[in-house]
Structure 1
């Protein structure tokens, strides 16, 4: 009887209240394990680190470039440092940047005055909480276009000459080509005889010194033969031209580049010499 009584009372330990309590405890335990697992995964995903990149890798000297980056696992109030080095390794910018709530940051790099130098630039991002850094390199190519200089107007000069079949309009000195360009208004086939003082145009093997060299003549861009007589101070050329000719160019190795005060004196001396020579010639040479 005693044993039976005990058998009847044993199930009293397993009541609905106890079962309900045990289930609640189990559910809470499972939820705790799941939550811990989630936080563990999230922490592993957001590992500490920093990374930067740029919107371009090649820019012109006058361009700006935007650098963007992210930093994870850092103290929010501490700033990211961005160091920018030019192609020589010189530090040109070093801003400290605030990091937003999502871990992002950015910085617009403007050209150094007057512009970026050509070459490779290195950008390094760092943070006090992180041992690692991140680097980005961009290249500046080309050069800033310099203002186009205003072409120097050719010097206009006067030469003693005789012309048939047209009119000599002007004579311009081309310093770069070492030549004199004669503008012609031709009325038909003709000929021009021109006195060239050596102080104005000459042809020598050493440029402006040395033994005499040959002149070169172009008539409307085409090579033309000519006759020449010369002495120590003057070269006289005789050039034939066809009707319709507009330009005769006499090319040497040395031409007076500027016709300022000194050149004016030379011109006066040269003209005086021409007058003396002309007086002995069979014909007078009218001035332009």
Structure 2
């Protein structure tokens, strides 16, 4: 009788082990990610991943949910190396609610994986908060902003770079929208047209080699301001926005400085741009 009990216990334990194996295997054999952790209406949600062991001709099914509502679904071909990718447009009648969205990938019954991202229908452009930026020997100007996933600790002017250096305290991956007054800070071409800004992000302001140039989106442009949307990651601490002048009297060689900044940024971030925000 005693031996029968021992055998029963062993068989029960083995049964538990086999019942747990598929979920563990699924985590190891399939991965899924999104190109960003936060999106707004009109953005493109890029879902991508890899499958360790594939079956010829079998696609992966991708579903996007908000709460219990199915927002989008697609069957995606898997490449020979096990990789897959699919673009979803974050627009239309189903993209109506702010919050956490879930992406689920189904390949086989034991290969199911998911990830999440945040979606906000509106980009808040007019800063609900303003930050006073000190102008050396010349008072201050207000920079409007909104931020999700952290807060701005400080903003300083770097006259040598014609830039604003923002110090962040981050809680998670997030989004910053800054409203820049043209009268105090801008990027202008020699013919008077708008120039692009250069945006660099890092976690140590004394280690410039580890600052990475990132893409930004100019979400609104007016005659007296420009609003930029910048995404950041949880371990980011510093954002530098480089223009052609910080208050006009600093701008005599501003365009030369911006060209030099572009060249430096390309050298610094050449190996990293393919990963960050692409």
- TM-score category by the smaller chain? 0.3 to 0.5
Structure possessing the higher radius of gyration over alpha carbons: 1
Q: Which has the higher strand share?
A: 2
Normalized against structure 2, the TM-score is what? 0.35
